[in-house]
Structure 1
């Protein structure tokens, strides 16, 4: 090789290397945004507490940094005094991982009062959380509270100290937490900073809430969906905004089953940080209770009108909404020929109207081919309405991930 050619090749190589370095130097950093990784729906009418500490288990669906809590007195009618808040990684039960406990502040204050109907974000914490990691959030309530803002059916375990036992938020050992509960109290979300990630909200009733799934197993279909997305190398936060007994059009008579989907949708779905997609699976409680608007008998057009309302709310917020067909329910006590006709008509509208930004056909995935109005026996938890853990996994498997990863 001549000296001239060698010099030329070296100049080309240096030029290419320089260009690569310049491109790397000018490439925009990965965008970070606030992403809700856990966000249960909250309702009215929980128990009251007095000078005791609540320690609640939170299961993060996605990892991130700079964690924040959302503390909520949204559904309570009296102010709430909060004496102290902490968060830690869970070791087991009510026991925290030693050295992981962080004090939580709001506007740099360690104790504060939440107004009736109020919610607040904590100050960000220098804390990293991993996908699937369990956290322990502890609240000390120094005075008698009114009825709490809560999520009744957590299908997870919370730990309570005795009334009058004082502030146990700094405890690493869980020994002073003498009672357990399967509800969450005064806590409506956890968010983190995450790069190029978003939140998917699974919005619905007890089927989405995980009724009849094993406690602490995280075997709800939204949990299984989060696992599928991670395995597909498209991790996203999936939060469960299911609420047992909830209806699309009307408030449930049991106050812990919440306001109608139309009323709670903006708070429980659209306001979750980082949300870009909602999956809607709801309506079977409207049908099963013949709960039309203004006390009238329900029609398919009534329920379709409710879906159109939710679609309009989502689109006005710039959020995609995926419609899911209602599962079969023969034998559950909800079924009758007229009610089945409404379910079929609404499912057909979901499939064919083009009103949603995509469709998930849970009905087709879960029904018995020989008896299409019946839940397949291997997916039935026993009440002919709610899927078991295998059924929840089948629901997650029925979702075309391309709907969620565009």
Structure 2
């Protein structure tokens, strides 16, 4: 068995990409986990994290849960927003234990074109060589990166809803995790984990594209209760071997960039969805921030540009996403925008736009199919409000029960 897996690994090593995603992803790879990257920033809520200062003689251990498994994996790293070459001294991957600990006997060094160290150019993406570390769906992995020198500001994913760990010095092979005495709720440079499926027909993943609701804000940190995680659990229970990739960025908008909340959806869609290995379906849930931010006077640069949008503009943005996905042969599922009456940026005018956009999503036929999250999560006594049983407390973001309800509303046969 191991000899056969080694043969698979050596064959795949010949096609492991060094930079551009779409040009060279091997069809045998399936996306098992992803985190959409952002530039270094401190948003107006949450923690500042380590992205602005970067790393210098630090080991960073990051925990992710894969949605599907296989005998061989690889790790993808991004220097998308770096202004200088990123010098990675070395890295490891293992099955995660409690906290920063890893499970005995599972630590594996990562190599890049056969070398333990590598350099990623500014704006670049790099995949590791294949690693023989068998994983099952819903396994948690720890990826440890060691930077001997200064990195400068780091490409990140700000709202991980999961702890990452940092220690001074080279602790790639530390098993206990006790030296990792700093924590952050962001991911750094880590953008994907791919697997080679256990079965020949294990050939695909579902991308969930959106904002903080997809990202998991409002769910319990460290519990993997984001709606894409819940969807992955449903697929596993149903015996459907599909990966689920989370392409949510908190605060993101379809039509506007922000240094804190990521590039506009129509700009990042190619990188965060179309370039992901093995994607066959995408669920689009985005637009409530375009509507809501227009009513706010946000301090600093995070909210810029603040502008009012019309329903027609937002629909035109959705049409661009649909065209891009269909051009690549993907199934495109439209999710209606959730109720938000009572949220900090709610206005009656915004509600009219949400209603118009949702009716278009339901009835236009532009999407291949629709998941009506608006109706699934609405308060039975006031359909413009989030059901109190699903409200995390801000009238906008679902709690764990709400995330579960979102995943339950998806017809698995459409994926």
Aligned residue for 1:4? none
| Equivalent residue in structure 1 for 2:353, among 342, 346, 357 | 342
Gap change, CA 1:344 and 1:157, over 3 Å in 2: same
Q: Which 5+ residue runs of structure 1 have no aligned equivalent?
A: 1-31
SS at match of 1:279: strand
Q: CA contact under 8 A between 2:294 and 2:306: conserved in structure 1? A: no
C-alpha distance in structure 2 between counterparts of 1:53 and 1:35, whole Å: 28
SS at match of 2:97: strand
C-alpha distance in structure 2 between counterparts of 1:296 and 1:104, whole Å: 45
Aligned residue for 1:192? 195
Q: CA contact under 8 A between 1:379 and 1:391: conserved in structure 2? A: yes
| Equivalent residue in structure 2 for 1:289, among 293, 311, 335 | 293
- How big is the shift at 1:294? 8.3
Cα RMSD for the two superposed structures: 1.5
SS at match of 1:98: coil
| Equivalent residue in structure 2 for 1:333, among 344, 359, 373 | 344
C-alpha distance in structure 2 between counterparts of 1:40 and 1:318, whole Å: 23
TM-score (norm 2): 0.86
Q: CA contact under 8 A between 2:95 and 2:140: conserved in structure 1? A: yes
C-alpha distance after superposition, 1:134-189 (max 9, x if no partner): 1110000111111100001111111100xxx3211011121211111111101100
Gap change, CA 1:294 and 1:301, over 3 Å in 2: farther
C-alpha distance in structure 2 between counterparts of 1:388 and 1:235, whole Å: 27
| Aligned counterparts, 1:2-401, within 5 A | 33-45=28-40, 46-47=51-52, 48-161=54-167, 165-194=168-197, 195=199, 196-197=201-202, 198-252=204-258, 255-290=259-294, 297-401=308-412
Q: CA contact under 8 A between 1:87 and 1:135: conserved in structure 2? A: yes
- How big is the shift at 1:402? 1.7
The farther-off stretch of 32-41 and 57-66 is: 32-41
C-alpha distance in structure 2 between counterparts of 1:150 and 1:79, whole Å: 15
Larger-gyration structure (1/2): 1
SS at match of 1:264: helix
Q: Which 5+ residue runs of structure 2 have no aligned equivalent?
A: 1-26, 41-50, 296-303
The farther-off stretch of 225-234 and 101-110 is: 225-234
C-alpha distance in structure 2 between counterparts of 1:236 and 1:374, whole Å: 33
Q: CA contact under 8 A between 2:30 and 2:279: conserved in structure 1? A: yes
C-alpha distance in structure 2 between counterparts of 1:294 and 1:137, whole Å: 36
User: Which runs of at least 4 in structure 1 moved beyond 2 Å after TM superposition?
Assistant: 293-297
- How big is the shift at 1:296? 5.0
TM-score (norm 1): 0.88
